[in-house]
Structure 1
Amino acid sequence: MTDTAIAWDTYSRQRPERRPTNARGETTWFNWTQYADHGPGAELLEAPAGGRVLDLGCGKDGNAAYLAALGMEVVGVDVSPKQLAAAHERRGQMPGLALFQADAVSFLREDRVGFAAGYSVYGAVWVTDPALLLPAIRERLRPGGRLLFSQRPPVEGCYGCQASYIPRGADEDPLVVKRWDYEPNAWECLLKAHGYTDVDANVLPAPTGRQTTGTLIVRASTPR
Protein backbone atom coordinates (compact mmCIF):
# COMPACT_ATOMS: atom_id res chain seq x y z
CA MET A 1 0.00 0.00 0.00
CA THR A 2 1.01 3.61 -0.58
CA ASP A 3 2.49 5.73 2.21
CA THR A 4 -0.62 7.31 3.71
CA ALA A 5 0.81 10.82 4.11
CA ILE A 6 1.81 10.91 0.44
CA ALA A 7 -1.58 9.56 -0.59
CA TRP A 8 -3.60 12.13 1.34
CA ASP A 9 -1.30 14.96 0.33
CA THR A 10 -2.05 13.98 -3.27
CA TYR A 11 -5.76 13.78 -2.53
CA SER A 12 -5.74 17.23 -0.92
CA ARG A 13 -4.46 18.83 -4.12
CA GLN A 14 -7.46 17.44 -6.01
CA ARG A 15 -10.14 18.65 -3.59
CA PRO A 16 -11.92 21.94 -4.24
CA GLU A 17 -11.69 24.59 -1.57
CA ARG A 18 -14.61 24.91 0.79
CA ARG A 19 -16.97 27.75 -0.13
CA PRO A 20 -16.36 31.06 1.69
CA THR A 21 -19.94 30.96 2.99
CA ASN A 22 -22.78 28.45 3.04
CA ALA A 23 -26.39 28.99 1.96
CA ARG A 24 -27.12 30.81 5.25
CA GLY A 25 -24.19 33.16 4.77
CA GLU A 26 -22.11 31.57 7.55
CA THR A 27 -18.33 31.49 7.25
CA THR A 28 -18.01 28.37 9.42
CA TRP A 29 -20.44 25.45 9.54
CA PHE A 30 -20.62 21.69 10.18
CA ASN A 31 -21.48 19.22 7.45
CA TRP A 32 -21.64 15.43 7.82
CA THR A 33 -22.40 14.70 4.17
CA GLN A 34 -20.73 15.08 0.78
CA TYR A 35 -23.45 17.51 -0.33
CA ALA A 36 -23.61 21.25 0.31
CA ASP A 37 -26.21 22.51 2.80
CA HIS A 38 -27.58 19.04 3.46
CA GLY A 39 -28.21 16.96 6.54
CA PRO A 40 -27.88 17.50 10.28
CA GLY A 41 -25.25 19.62 12.00
CA ALA A 42 -23.05 19.58 15.08
CA GLU A 43 -26.00 18.95 17.37
CA LEU A 44 -25.52 15.23 16.75
CA LEU A 45 -22.35 15.35 18.85
CA GLU A 46 -24.26 16.39 21.97
CA ALA A 47 -20.98 17.88 23.19
CA PRO A 48 -21.14 20.24 26.19
CA ALA A 49 -20.12 23.88 25.88
CA GLY A 50 -16.38 24.07 26.37
CA GLY A 51 -16.05 20.30 25.98
CA ARG A 52 -12.96 18.72 24.46
CA VAL A 53 -13.76 17.27 21.04
CA LEU A 54 -11.59 15.21 18.66
CA ASP A 55 -11.75 15.47 14.86
CA LEU A 56 -10.26 12.27 13.38
CA GLY A 57 -9.07 13.22 9.91
CA CYS A 58 -9.69 16.96 10.16
CA GLY A 59 -8.35 17.82 6.69
CA LYS A 60 -8.41 21.59 6.18
CA ASP A 61 -10.33 21.99 9.48
CA GLY A 62 -13.70 23.25 8.20
CA ASN A 63 -15.78 21.32 10.74
CA ALA A 64 -13.28 21.73 13.56
CA ALA A 65 -13.18 25.51 13.10
CA TYR A 66 -16.95 25.67 13.43
CA LEU A 67 -16.88 23.84 16.77
CA ALA A 68 -14.05 26.04 18.03
CA ALA A 69 -16.10 29.10 17.10
CA LEU A 70 -18.88 27.70 19.31
CA GLY A 71 -16.48 27.69 22.25
CA MET A 72 -15.43 24.04 22.28
CA GLU A 73 -11.86 22.87 22.76
CA VAL A 74 -11.20 21.08 19.48
CA VAL A 75 -8.27 18.82 18.62
CA GLY A 76 -7.85 18.02 14.93
CA VAL A 77 -5.67 15.13 13.78
CA ASP A 78 -4.69 14.41 10.20
CA VAL A 79 -1.88 12.45 8.57
CA SER A 80 -1.50 14.90 5.67
CA PRO A 81 0.92 17.80 6.25
CA LYS A 82 -0.42 19.62 3.18
CA GLN A 83 -3.98 19.56 4.50
CA LEU A 84 -2.86 20.91 7.86
CA ALA A 85 -0.67 23.57 6.23
CA ALA A 86 -3.71 24.74 4.26
CA ALA A 87 -5.72 24.94 7.48
CA HIS A 88 -3.04 27.04 9.19
CA GLU A 89 -2.73 29.29 6.14
CA ARG A 90 -6.48 29.89 6.12
CA ARG A 91 -6.99 30.66 9.81
CA GLY A 92 -3.64 30.92 11.56
CA GLN A 93 -3.83 30.13 15.26
CA MET A 94 -7.53 29.98 16.04
CA PRO A 95 -8.48 30.06 19.74
CA GLY A 96 -9.79 26.71 20.93
CA LEU A 97 -8.38 24.78 17.97
CA ALA A 98 -5.21 22.66 18.00
CA LEU A 99 -4.07 20.66 14.94
CA PHE A 100 -1.65 17.72 14.94
CA GLN A 101 -0.05 15.68 12.18
CA ALA A 102 -0.34 12.03 13.17
CA ASP A 103 -2.21 8.88 12.35
CA ALA A 104 -5.30 8.49 14.49
CA VAL A 105 -4.31 5.36 16.42
CA SER A 106 -0.86 6.69 17.36
CA PHE A 107 -2.32 9.99 18.54
CA LEU A 108 -4.97 8.31 20.66
CA ARG A 109 -2.42 6.05 22.30
CA GLU A 110 -0.38 9.08 23.37
CA ASP A 111 -3.19 11.42 24.47
CA ARG A 112 -3.97 11.23 28.17
CA VAL A 113 -6.58 13.96 28.64
CA GLY A 114 -9.64 12.35 27.08
CA PHE A 115 -12.57 13.71 25.07
CA ALA A 116 -16.26 14.40 25.49
CA ALA A 117 -16.85 13.46 21.85
CA GLY A 118 -15.00 12.29 18.77
CA TYR A 119 -16.05 12.37 15.15
CA SER A 120 -14.87 11.51 11.65
CA VAL A 121 -16.42 12.99 8.49
CA TYR A 122 -15.20 10.89 5.57
CA GLY A 123 -12.06 10.68 7.69
CA ALA A 124 -9.95 8.35 9.77
CA VAL A 125 -12.72 5.93 10.75
CA TRP A 126 -13.23 5.15 7.08
CA VAL A 127 -9.56 4.52 6.32
CA THR A 128 -8.26 2.92 9.53
CA ASP A 129 -8.61 -0.69 10.67
CA PRO A 130 -11.57 -0.62 13.08
CA ALA A 131 -10.02 -3.42 15.12
CA LEU A 132 -7.30 -0.93 16.06
CA LEU A 133 -9.16 2.37 15.97
CA LEU A 134 -12.45 1.62 17.74
CA PRO A 135 -10.85 0.44 21.01
CA ALA A 136 -8.33 3.30 20.90
CA ILE A 137 -11.17 5.83 20.62
CA ARG A 138 -13.18 4.16 23.38
CA GLU A 139 -10.26 4.37 25.78
CA ARG A 140 -10.03 8.14 25.28
CA LEU A 141 -13.73 8.99 25.41
CA ARG A 142 -15.01 9.95 28.81
CA PRO A 143 -17.96 8.01 30.32
CA GLY A 144 -21.02 8.74 28.21
CA GLY A 145 -18.82 10.26 25.49
CA ARG A 146 -20.08 10.26 21.92
CA LEU A 147 -18.49 8.84 18.77
CA LEU A 148 -19.97 9.80 15.42
CA PHE A 149 -18.73 9.21 11.92
CA SER A 150 -19.97 9.55 8.37
CA GLN A 151 -18.81 8.07 5.10
CA ARG A 152 -20.10 6.73 1.81
CA PRO A 153 -22.32 3.64 2.12
CA PRO A 154 -20.72 0.42 0.88
CA VAL A 155 -21.16 -0.87 -2.63
CA GLU A 156 -23.36 -3.95 -2.44
CA GLY A 157 -21.21 -7.05 -1.99
CA CYS A 158 -18.00 -5.10 -1.29
CA TYR A 159 -17.63 -5.28 2.48
CA GLY A 160 -14.72 -5.08 4.87
CA CYS A 161 -11.28 -3.85 3.84
CA GLN A 162 -11.33 -2.44 0.31
CA ALA A 163 -8.80 -0.78 -1.95
CA SER A 164 -9.39 2.90 -2.66
CA TYR A 165 -7.58 4.58 -5.55
CA ILE A 166 -6.31 8.16 -5.66
CA PRO A 167 -5.51 9.23 -9.25
CA ARG A 168 -2.28 10.97 -10.21
CA GLY A 169 -0.88 12.12 -13.54
CA ALA A 170 -1.81 10.57 -16.87
CA ASP A 171 1.39 8.48 -16.96
CA GLU A 172 1.36 7.48 -13.28
CA ASP A 173 -0.35 4.61 -11.54
CA PRO A 174 -2.94 5.67 -8.96
CA LEU A 175 -2.05 5.61 -5.29
CA VAL A 176 -3.75 2.88 -3.29
CA VAL A 177 -5.05 3.20 0.28
CA LYS A 178 -7.32 1.00 2.37
CA ARG A 179 -10.84 1.81 3.49
CA TRP A 180 -13.33 -0.16 5.57
CA ASP A 181 -16.87 -0.48 4.20
CA TYR A 182 -19.72 -2.11 6.11
CA GLU A 183 -23.47 -2.02 6.02
CA PRO A 184 -25.20 -0.27 8.94
CA ASN A 185 -26.00 -3.45 10.88
CA ALA A 186 -22.38 -4.60 10.59
CA TRP A 187 -21.12 -1.29 12.02
CA GLU A 188 -23.58 -1.65 14.87
CA CYS A 189 -22.26 -5.14 15.65
CA LEU A 190 -18.63 -3.98 15.48
CA LEU A 191 -19.20 -1.06 17.83
CA LYS A 192 -21.11 -3.14 20.35
CA ALA A 193 -18.38 -5.79 20.25
CA HIS A 194 -15.87 -3.07 21.23
CA GLY A 195 -17.94 -1.96 24.21
CA TYR A 196 -19.97 0.93 22.78
CA THR A 197 -23.60 1.48 23.69
CA ASP A 198 -26.57 3.35 22.19
CA VAL A 199 -25.35 2.43 18.73
CA ASP A 200 -27.30 3.62 15.70
CA ALA A 201 -26.29 3.42 12.03
CA ASN A 202 -28.39 4.65 9.13
CA VAL A 203 -28.02 5.95 5.60
CA LEU A 204 -29.22 9.52 5.12
CA PRO A 205 -30.69 9.82 1.61
CA ALA A 206 -29.07 12.17 -0.86
CA PRO A 207 -30.76 15.50 -1.57
CA THR A 208 -33.69 15.46 -3.95
CA GLY A 209 -32.48 15.46 -7.54
CA ARG A 210 -30.21 13.32 -9.66
CA GLN A 211 -27.90 12.20 -6.85
CA THR A 212 -28.47 8.64 -5.66
CA THR A 213 -25.69 7.99 -3.12
CA GLY A 214 -26.63 8.79 0.44
CA THR A 215 -24.40 9.22 3.49
CA LEU A 216 -23.84 6.58 6.15
CA ILE A 217 -24.01 8.22 9.60
CA VAL A 218 -23.09 6.14 12.65
CA ARG A 219 -23.61 7.14 16.29
CA ALA A 220 -22.44 5.45 19.47
CA SER A 221 -21.61 6.21 23.12
CA THR A 222 -19.33 4.88 25.81
CA PRO A 223 -20.91 3.41 28.95
CA ARG A 224 -21.57 5.86 31.77
Structure 2
Amino acid sequence: MLQEITPAGAWERFATRATPRRATNAAGATTWLNWTPYPDHGPDETILGDVRGKRVLELGSGSGANLAHLATLGARCTGVDIAPSRTTTAELRWGRGSDLEFVTQEAADYLRESADHFDIVISIFGATWFTDPTMLLPLICRRLAPNGLLIFSHNDEQSAADEPQHAIKKWNLSGQRWVDSLHDAGFATAAFEIVPPPQADLPGTLLVRGTAPSI
Protein backbone atom coordinates (compact mmCIF):
# COMPACT_ATOMS: atom_id res chain seq x y z
CA MET A 1 0.00 0.00 0.00
CA LEU A 2 1.31 3.42 -0.93
CA GLN A 3 1.79 5.71 2.03
CA GLU A 4 -0.06 9.03 1.75
CA ILE A 5 2.23 12.04 1.77
CA THR A 6 0.97 14.88 3.93
CA PRO A 7 1.65 18.55 3.07
CA ALA A 8 4.12 18.70 5.97
CA GLY A 9 5.90 15.62 4.65
CA ALA A 10 6.01 17.00 1.13
CA TRP A 11 7.53 20.27 2.32
CA GLU A 12 10.01 18.40 4.47
CA ARG A 13 11.16 16.49 1.38
CA PHE A 14 11.47 19.78 -0.50
CA ALA A 15 13.50 21.26 2.36
CA THR A 16 16.06 18.47 2.20
CA ARG A 17 16.74 19.38 -1.44
CA ALA A 18 16.90 23.15 -0.92
CA THR A 19 20.10 24.87 -2.03
CA PRO A 20 21.76 26.86 0.78
CA ARG A 21 21.71 30.61 0.29
CA ARG A 22 24.89 32.36 -0.83
CA ALA A 23 27.11 33.70 1.93
CA THR A 24 27.03 37.20 0.36
CA ASN A 25 25.08 38.88 -2.41
CA ALA A 26 26.47 40.89 -5.33
CA ALA A 27 26.89 43.92 -3.10
CA GLY A 28 28.86 41.92 -0.56
CA ALA A 29 26.09 42.00 2.08
CA THR A 30 25.69 39.00 4.37
CA THR A 31 21.95 39.58 4.90
CA TRP A 32 19.40 40.83 2.37
CA LEU A 33 15.80 40.44 1.23
CA ASN A 34 14.59 39.70 -2.30
CA TRP A 35 10.95 39.41 -3.40
CA THR A 36 11.78 37.60 -6.64
CA PRO A 37 13.50 34.21 -7.16
CA TYR A 38 16.31 35.79 -9.15
CA PRO A 39 19.59 36.74 -7.43
CA ASP A 40 20.18 40.47 -6.93
CA HIS A 41 16.99 41.37 -8.79
CA GLY A 42 13.89 43.39 -8.02
CA PRO A 43 12.81 45.48 -5.02
CA ASP A 44 14.23 45.00 -1.55
CA GLU A 45 12.93 45.53 1.98
CA THR A 46 12.47 49.29 1.50
CA ILE A 47 8.96 48.69 0.14
CA LEU A 48 8.02 47.79 3.72
CA GLY A 49 8.95 51.23 4.99
CA ASP A 50 10.83 51.75 8.25
CA VAL A 51 10.73 48.42 10.11
CA ARG A 52 12.45 49.57 13.31
CA GLY A 53 10.42 48.38 16.28
CA LYS A 54 7.80 46.75 14.04
CA ARG A 55 6.51 43.24 14.65
CA VAL A 56 7.02 41.21 11.47
CA LEU A 57 5.60 37.76 10.70
CA GLU A 58 6.81 35.67 7.75
CA LEU A 59 4.60 32.82 6.55
CA GLY A 60 6.82 30.19 5.00
CA SER A 61 10.07 31.49 6.48
CA GLY A 62 12.30 28.73 5.13
CA SER A 63 15.93 29.11 6.17
CA GLY A 64 15.14 32.40 7.93
CA ALA A 65 17.34 34.65 5.79
CA ASN A 66 14.66 37.25 5.06
CA LEU A 67 13.72 37.71 8.69
CA ALA A 68 17.35 37.70 9.81
CA HIS A 69 17.90 40.68 7.52
CA LEU A 70 14.87 42.54 8.86
CA ALA A 71 16.04 41.85 12.42
CA THR A 72 19.33 43.62 11.64
CA LEU A 73 17.21 46.66 10.74
CA GLY A 74 15.47 46.67 14.11
CA ALA A 75 12.34 44.60 13.45
CA ARG A 76 10.99 42.02 15.91
CA CYS A 77 10.54 38.95 13.77
CA THR A 78 8.67 35.65 13.88
CA GLY A 79 8.97 33.04 11.14
CA VAL A 80 6.53 30.19 10.63
CA ASP A 81 7.28 27.16 8.44
CA ILE A 82 5.57 23.79 8.17
CA ALA A 83 8.83 21.83 7.66
CA PRO A 84 10.67 21.05 10.93
CA SER A 85 14.08 20.97 9.28
CA ARG A 86 13.60 24.56 8.07
CA THR A 87 13.19 25.73 11.65
CA THR A 88 16.30 23.80 12.66
CA THR A 89 18.30 25.26 9.78
CA ALA A 90 17.12 28.79 10.55
CA GLU A 91 17.98 28.58 14.24
CA LEU A 92 21.40 27.05 13.56
CA ARG A 93 22.24 29.80 11.06
CA TRP A 94 20.67 32.85 12.68
CA GLY A 95 20.08 31.93 16.32
CA ARG A 96 17.01 32.63 18.38
CA GLY A 97 16.23 35.55 20.64
CA SER A 98 13.69 38.16 21.65
CA ASP A 99 13.84 39.79 18.21
CA LEU A 100 14.05 36.65 16.07
CA GLU A 101 12.18 33.38 16.56
CA PHE A 102 11.15 30.50 14.33
CA VAL A 103 8.11 28.25 14.73
CA THR A 104 7.26 24.92 13.09
CA GLN A 105 3.56 25.03 12.28
CA GLU A 106 1.13 25.22 9.39
CA ALA A 107 0.45 28.89 8.63
CA ALA A 108 -3.32 28.88 9.09
CA ASP A 109 -3.06 26.93 12.35
CA TYR A 110 -0.52 29.40 13.69
CA LEU A 111 -2.75 32.36 12.83
CA ARG A 112 -5.78 30.71 14.44
CA GLU A 113 -3.94 29.93 17.66
CA SER A 114 -1.82 33.06 18.03
CA ALA A 115 -2.97 35.94 20.20
CA ASP A 116 -0.29 38.26 18.82
CA HIS A 117 -0.78 41.13 16.41
CA PHE A 118 1.74 42.10 13.76
CA ASP A 119 2.52 45.34 11.98
CA ILE A 120 3.75 43.54 8.87
CA VAL A 121 3.11 40.07 7.41
CA ILE A 122 5.25 38.89 4.51
CA SER A 123 5.33 35.73 2.41
CA ILE A 124 7.90 35.39 -0.37
CA PHE A 125 6.97 32.47 -2.62
CA GLY A 126 5.61 31.09 0.63
CA ALA A 127 2.42 30.04 2.40
CA THR A 128 0.05 32.53 0.73
CA TRP A 129 0.76 30.73 -2.54
CA PHE A 130 -0.04 27.30 -1.11
CA THR A 131 -3.03 27.94 1.19
CA ASP A 132 -6.66 28.53 0.25
CA PRO A 133 -6.96 32.35 0.26
CA THR A 134 -10.60 32.26 1.38
CA MET A 135 -9.32 30.68 4.60
CA LEU A 136 -5.89 32.29 5.00
CA LEU A 137 -6.48 35.96 4.13
CA PRO A 138 -9.16 36.61 6.79
CA LEU A 139 -6.88 35.00 9.38
CA ILE A 140 -4.01 37.29 8.36
CA CYS A 141 -6.28 40.34 8.46
CA ARG A 142 -7.34 39.51 12.02
CA ARG A 143 -3.74 39.16 13.17
CA LEU A 144 -2.64 42.48 11.66
CA ALA A 145 -2.52 45.61 13.79
CA PRO A 146 -4.63 48.58 12.61
CA ASN A 147 -3.24 49.78 9.27
CA GLY A 148 -0.98 46.71 9.26
CA LEU A 149 0.63 45.65 5.99
CA LEU A 150 0.57 42.34 4.12
CA ILE A 151 2.96 41.88 1.19
CA PHE A 152 3.57 38.62 -0.63
CA SER A 153 4.98 37.40 -3.93
CA HIS A 154 4.83 34.45 -6.31
CA ASN A 155 5.31 33.63 -10.00
CA ASP A 156 3.29 35.63 -12.51
CA GLU A 157 1.96 32.45 -14.14
CA GLN A 158 -1.71 31.72 -13.60
CA SER A 159 -3.00 28.21 -12.95
CA ALA A 160 -6.21 26.63 -11.76
CA ALA A 161 -7.02 27.52 -8.16
CA ASP A 162 -7.38 23.89 -7.16
CA GLU A 163 -4.57 22.43 -9.25
CA PRO A 164 -3.02 19.55 -7.26
CA GLN A 165 0.72 19.11 -7.06
CA HIS A 166 1.14 15.81 -5.25
CA ALA A 167 0.33 16.66 -1.59
CA ILE A 168 0.53 20.40 -2.28
CA LYS A 169 -2.02 22.68 -3.92
CA LYS A 170 -1.00 25.99 -5.45
CA TRP A 171 -3.14 29.13 -5.72
CA ASN A 172 -1.31 30.91 -8.52
CA LEU A 173 -3.91 33.62 -9.06
CA SER A 174 -3.88 36.78 -11.13
CA GLY A 175 -3.17 40.09 -9.48
CA GLN A 176 -6.78 41.23 -9.82
CA ARG A 177 -8.09 38.02 -8.28
CA TRP A 178 -5.79 38.58 -5.31
CA VAL A 179 -7.01 42.16 -4.98
CA ASP A 180 -10.62 40.97 -4.99
CA SER A 181 -9.79 38.26 -2.46
CA LEU A 182 -8.09 40.75 -0.14
CA HIS A 183 -11.12 43.05 -0.19
CA ASP A 184 -13.41 40.06 0.45
CA ALA A 185 -11.24 39.12 3.45
CA GLY A 186 -11.67 42.55 5.06
CA PHE A 187 -8.56 44.42 3.92
CA ALA A 188 -9.05 48.17 3.55
CA THR A 189 -6.78 48.54 0.51
CA ALA A 190 -5.29 46.11 -2.00
CA ALA A 191 -2.99 46.47 -5.00
CA PHE A 192 -0.55 44.50 -7.12
CA GLU A 193 2.33 44.96 -9.50
CA ILE A 194 4.35 42.68 -11.73
CA VAL A 195 8.12 42.82 -11.38
CA PRO A 196 9.62 42.02 -14.80
CA PRO A 197 12.13 39.15 -14.94
CA PRO A 198 15.82 39.73 -15.64
CA GLN A 199 15.39 38.11 -19.06
CA ALA A 200 12.41 37.69 -21.37
CA ASP A 201 12.13 33.89 -21.27
CA LEU A 202 11.56 33.79 -17.51
CA PRO A 203 8.34 34.42 -15.56
CA GLY A 204 7.86 37.72 -13.81
CA THR A 205 7.05 38.07 -10.13
CA LEU A 206 3.59 39.08 -8.90
CA LEU A 207 3.86 41.35 -5.87
CA VAL A 208 0.63 41.84 -3.92
CA ARG A 209 -0.04 44.14 -0.98
CA GLY A 210 -2.96 44.90 1.29
CA THR A 211 -3.52 47.05 4.37
CA ALA A 212 -5.73 46.19 7.31
CA PRO A 213 -8.48 48.58 8.44
CA SER A 214 -7.49 51.43 10.75
CA ILE A 215 -9.74 50.16 13.55
Instruction: Say whether residues 1:216 and 2:206 are aligned partners.
Output: yes
2 and 46 in structure 1: CA distance in 2 versus 1, 3 angstrom threshold? farther
Q: Where in structure 2 are there 5+ consecutive unaligned residues?
A: none
Gaps in structure 1 of 5+ consecutive residues: 165-174
Q: TM-score, normalised by structure 2?
A: 0.93
- In the alignment, which residue of structure 2 is the partner of 1:160? 161
Please list the CA deviations of residues 63-116 of structure 1 after superposition, one character each: whole Å capped at 9, or x if unmatched: 010011111100000000011111122223255101001111111112112000
Query: TM-score, normalised on structure 1?
Result: 0.89
Aligned partners of 1:103 and 1:5: how far apart in 2?
8
Q: 2:180 aligns with which of 189, 196, 208?
A: 189
For these two proteins, the number of residue pairs brought into alignment is 211
Q: Does 1:80 align with 2:83?
A: yes
Q: Letter of the aligned partner of 1:41 in structure 2?
A: D
What value does the CA root-mean-square deviation take over the aligned residues?
Answer: 1.5
CA distance in 1, matches of 2:5, 2:211: 33
In the other structure, the counterpart of 1:54 is 57
2:169 and 2:205 mapped to 1: Cα distance? 19
Distance of 2:31 and 2:131 partners within structure 1 = 27
Q: AA paired with 2:85?
A: K
Q: Is the 8 A contact 1:47 1:53 kept in 2?
A: no
**Mapped pair 1:198 → 2:189:** yes
Secondary structure at 1:181 match in 2:
coil
Q: Which residue is 1:113 aligned to?
A: 116
Note the C-alpha offset of 1:45: 2.0
Measured against aligned partners, the alpha-carbon deviations of 1:159-195 in whole angstroms (never above 9, x if no partner) come to: 312223xxxxxxxxxx431111111111111111111
Retained in 2: the 8 A contact 1:159–1:183?
no
Task: Give, in whole Å, the separation in 2 of the partners of 1:58 and 1:28.
Answer: 14
The amino acid that maps onto 1:206 is P
What is the deviation of 1:47?
Answer: 5.1
**Is 1:16 matched up with 2:19?**
yes
CA distance in 2 between counterparts of 1:35 and 1:59 reads 16
> Does the 8 Å CA contact 2:51/2:74 hold for their aligned counterparts?
no
Percent identity between the aligned chains? 37
